[in-house]
């Protein structure tokens, strides 16, 4: 698969993942007790954690195709 096609697939995958991730974070936050300290801990973790599952997808998207 050419690099441009992989980047397109990765972009669509990232957008789909982020839509699901935002929904999941909001749903989980609704289950937590209302507290300043809960928010102080939860939101930084949620704000950093979204990037970790995307590393393999980005690595795959940037690979050069094997020589023919």
Q: What is the pLDDT along the chain (68 residues), one digit of tens a residue?
A: 888 889 999 999 999 999 999 999 999 999 999 999 999 999 999 999 998 999 999 998 888 777 77
pLDDT the model gives residue 67: 75
Q: What is the pLDDT of residue 24?
A: 96
- HSE at residue 22, side-chain half, CA atoms within 13 A, is 5
pTM for this structure? 0.80
The pLDDT score that the predictor gives to residue 65 is: 75
Q: Which long-range contacts (CB under 8 A, 24 or more apart) does 15-21 make?
A: 17/53, 17/54, 17/57, 18/50, 21/50
pLDDT of res. 10: 92
The H or E element that residue 7 is part of is helix 3-31
């Amino acid at each position: 698969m050419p690099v441009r096609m992989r980047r397109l697939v990765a972009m669509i995958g990232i957008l789909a993942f982020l839509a699901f991730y935002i929904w999941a974070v909001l749903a989980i936050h609704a289950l937590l007790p209302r507290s300043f300290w809960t928010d102080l801990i939860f939101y930084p973790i949620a704000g950093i954690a979204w990037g970790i599952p995307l590393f393999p997808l980005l690595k795959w998207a940037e690979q050069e195709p094997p020589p023919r």
